[in-house]
Amino acid sequence: MARLLKLPRYLCNASVSLSVFIVMFVLLGACGGEASQEETNSSNANEDKTMELTVDNLITAFQKSGLEAEDGGELTRDDFGMAPMKADKAKRLLIPSLGEDSGG
């Protein structure tokens, strides 16, 4: 069977190929730098805007964004069926435009 690609003998050696791969990996890794000042400032601004994640805060954020969401009431252990209720408290979100009793 004819060889389609003839490599120089020095590239066929496994240790040389591995060494070349490691050098390339290190050089490419050195290209990544620290975050710029703008990226750092924007991430700090996002941290300032964070608030506690609750269903009530989620509903309020949806409504402020012009999306539909209503509080559908508390969920009980019976609402979970055979699945374990891992949460201390659970609420249901309703989407009125989907029809009566539609939500998660």
For 55-95, write each residue's pLDDT tens digit. 888 888 889 999 888 888 888 888 888 888 888 888 888 88
The residue range of the domain holding 82 is 68-104
- 99 within domain boundaries: yes
Reported as a single tens digit per residue, the pLDDT across 33-53 is 665 556 655 655 555 567 788
CA distance 18 to 15: 5
Return the CA Rg of the chain: 28
- What pLDDT was estimated at residue 64? 92
Count of domains in the chain? 1
d(CA 56, CA 62): 10
1 within a domain of the structure (yes/no)? no
